[in-house]
């Protein structure tokens, strides 16, 4: 009977794992992402139910209470948090996952110390050490990332003197403590110090990451949370947690690598501080001195759009901040009604988290088949009459392609400057997150359309409607 129960549990875990993998696969396309999320959720429900049936539960009442409280908080966040604040929420969720892993690892260590460590406790103690290290780093690192995105913590690069040396020494100290904890398992001080130093390490690892690198940092921290969960799975001897954590960790690393390639960066470059504080140095980048900017008003912009046959819309974080996605959808409808071909070009790191622009446009019901990634659409800008850049900055800066002295040189950009006309919707001439001037703004074929994105696009839509009526 006991063997049958174990077989049934393992089969259910296998089914849940398949649902996780299939769900992640479905999430690779915006058209199937919602369905993929549901499938993965069903897999997680199966895993939770079977785990609760398998384990010796002390108090189902506490579990139910935690479930109710956690679900209530999650529901409130899901409904109340604005789409512009979604990166911060993702950062917090990563941190909660890492913190939970560390707490479970420490609790299991205390529990086992009371019962007595087994003779072959080395594997268990190694897993505890890794769970505490990665979980604690993820927790504080994610809190710092949240603070940077929310504006509570400065988005600039912040380094302490001898930053890299301090980090390396800290890592060596943590692994030394883990080794001591394994050799002397009854001395709880070693693993408690591991937690404390790992919390500090998380802060030191993320503070040097500038705002321009936050999408990569969020993706990397998501991977950390999965690895921490997998390590905790070894601690509590749960195959499902090991598999689920490994999936999250692997997918997070793959996404991080894709985003780093999109920025012509390495993961180590991001971790060690990435761009210097170029807002202060600015060496090698364009200066606005003696450069001419041409601007248009709403009526002039509408006249240009009324004669365009092909329009490319390039969204950026400015669209998210002003919540202009619905106005952009209305602009698309008006242009298409007038016979204009409208498409969207999406840069992998536009916004503050992976897929940020795709999520916003999906929210406003822009058809998925109109969204094109950089590598698919970049060669077509030369055939475009108007490229409408809404709040994007660094991802359309030709300096990345033309200026070897630029701090973003080599970063793949959207070739909007190849279009016949470029109209940039922006509040002001302020630099983007990389802190450098944008050469695009001063080009002969570029026109600046100043104003809040939502207000500016709404006025443009109204003007086009009036012209077509």
Which pLDDT tens digit goes with each residue over 314-373? Answer: 999 889 888 899 999 999 999 999 999 999 999 988 877 777 888 888 888 899 889 999
Least trusted range by pLDDT, from 83-87, 230-234, 425-429, 445-449: 83-87
Q: What is the mean pLDDT of residues 414-442?
A: 86
Spell out the long-range contacts of 437-441 with Cβ–Cβ below 8 A and sequence spacing 24 or more: 437/285, 437/286, 437/287, 437/288, 437/399, 438/286, 438/393, 438/394, 438/396, 438/397, 438/399, 439/286, 439/397, 439/398, 439/399, 439/402, 439/403, 440/389, 440/396, 440/397, 440/398, 440/416, 441/293
Evaluate if residue 91 carries a pLDDT over 50.
Answer: yes
Retrieve residue 327's tokens: 């106005």
Of 345 and 153, the one with more pLDDT: 345
| Sequence ranges of the domains in the chain | 2-72+83-271, 298-468
Among 314, 310, 366, 364, residue whose Cα is nearest residue 339: 310
Which pLDDT tens digit goes with each residue over 418-429? Answer: 999 999 999 887
pLDDT band with cut points at 50, 70 and 90 for residue 434: low
Active site residue 394: yes
Taking the model in full, what pTM does it have?
A: 0.78
**pLDDT > 90 fraction of the chain, expressed in percent and rounded:** 49
Q: What is the pLDDT of residue 143?
A: 94
Measure Cα distances from 235 to 45, 131, 303, 367 in Å: 21, 8, 66, 45
Evaluate if residue 212 carries a pLDDT over 50.
Answer: yes
Evaluate if residue 286 carries a pLDDT over 70.
Answer: no
Euclidean distance between CA atoms 265 and 411, whole angstroms: 8
Helix (H) or strand (E) segment spanning residue 442? none
Q: What is the mean pLDDT of residues 9-29?
A: 88
Evaluate if residue 55 carries a pLDDT over 80.
Answer: no
Q: What is the pLDDT of residue 284?
A: 44
Evaluate if residue 282 carries a pLDDT over 50.
Answer: no
**333: CB partners within 8 A, 6+ apart:** none
Evaluate if residue 213 carries a pLDDT over 90.
Answer: no
Euclidean distance between CA atoms 458 and 203, whole angstroms: 42
Point out the catalytic residue in the list 394, 417, 444, 452: 394
**pLDDT > 70 fraction of the chain, expressed in percent and rounded:** 91
Q: What is the mean pLDDT of residues 166-187?
A: 94
Topology of domain 298-468 in CATH is Rossmann fold (3.40.50)
Sort 289 into a burial class: Cβ within 10 Å, 0-12 / 13-18 / 19+: exposed
Q: What is the pLDDT of residue 433?
A: 62
């Amino acid at each position: 009977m006991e063997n049958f129960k174990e077989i049934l549990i393992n089969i259910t875990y296998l089914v849940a794992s398949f649902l996780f993998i299939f769900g992640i696969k479905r999430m690779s396309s915006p058209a199937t992402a919602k369905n993929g999320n549901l499938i993965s959720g069903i897999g997680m429900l199966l895993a939770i139910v079977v785990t609760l049936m398998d384990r010796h539960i002390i108090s189902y009442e506490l579990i139910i209470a935690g479930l109710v409280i956690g679900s209530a908080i999650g529901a409130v966040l899901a409904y109340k948090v604005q789409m512009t604040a979604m990166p911060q929420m993702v950062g917090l969720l990563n941190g909660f996952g890492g913190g939970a892993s560390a707490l479970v690892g420490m609790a299991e260590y205390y529990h086992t110390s009371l019962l007595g460590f087994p003779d072959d406790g080395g594997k268990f103690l190694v897993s505890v050490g890794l769970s505490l290290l990665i979980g604690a780093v993820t927790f504080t690192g994610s809190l710092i990332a949240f603070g940077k995105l929310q504006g509570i913590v400065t988005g600039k690069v912040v380094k302490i003197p001898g930053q890299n040396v301090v980090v390396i020494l800290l890592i060596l100290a943590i692994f030394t403590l883990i080794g001591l904890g394994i050799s002397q398992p009854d001395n709880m001080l070693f693993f408690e110090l591991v937690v404390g130093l790992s919390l500090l390490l998380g802060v030191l690892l993320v503070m040097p990451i500038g705002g321009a690198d936050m999408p990569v940092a969020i993706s990397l921290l998501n991977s950390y949370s999965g690895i921490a969960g997998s390590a905790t799975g070894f601690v509590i001897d749960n195959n499902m947690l090991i598999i689920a954590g490994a999936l999250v960790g692997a997918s997070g690393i793959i996404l991080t690598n894709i985003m780093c390639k999109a920025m012509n960066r390495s993961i180590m470059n991001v971790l060690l501080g990435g761009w210097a504080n170029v807002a202060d140095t600015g060496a090698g980048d364009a200066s606005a001195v003696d450069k001419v900017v041409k601007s248009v008003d709403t009526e002039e912009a509408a006249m240009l759009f009324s004669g365009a046959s092909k329009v490319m819309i390039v969204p950026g974080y400015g669209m998210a901040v002003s919540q202009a996605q619905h106005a952009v959808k209305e602009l698309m409808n008006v242009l298409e009604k007038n016979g204009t071909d409208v498409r969207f070009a999406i840069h992998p790191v536009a916004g503050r988290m992976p897929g940020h622009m795709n999520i916003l446009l999906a929210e406003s019901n822009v058809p998925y088949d109109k969204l094109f990634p950089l590598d698919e659409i970049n060669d077509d800008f030369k055939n475009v009459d108007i490229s409408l850049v809404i709040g994007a900055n660094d991802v359309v800066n030709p300096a990345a392609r033309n200026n070897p002295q630029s701090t973003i040189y080599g970063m793949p950009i959207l070739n909007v400057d190849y279009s016949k006309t470029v109209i940039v919707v922006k509040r002001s001439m302020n630099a983007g997150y990389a802190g450098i001037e944008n050469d695009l703004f001063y080009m002969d074929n570029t026109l600046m359309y100043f104003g809040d994105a939502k207000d500016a696009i709404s006025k443009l839509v109204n003007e086009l409607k009036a012209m077509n009526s």
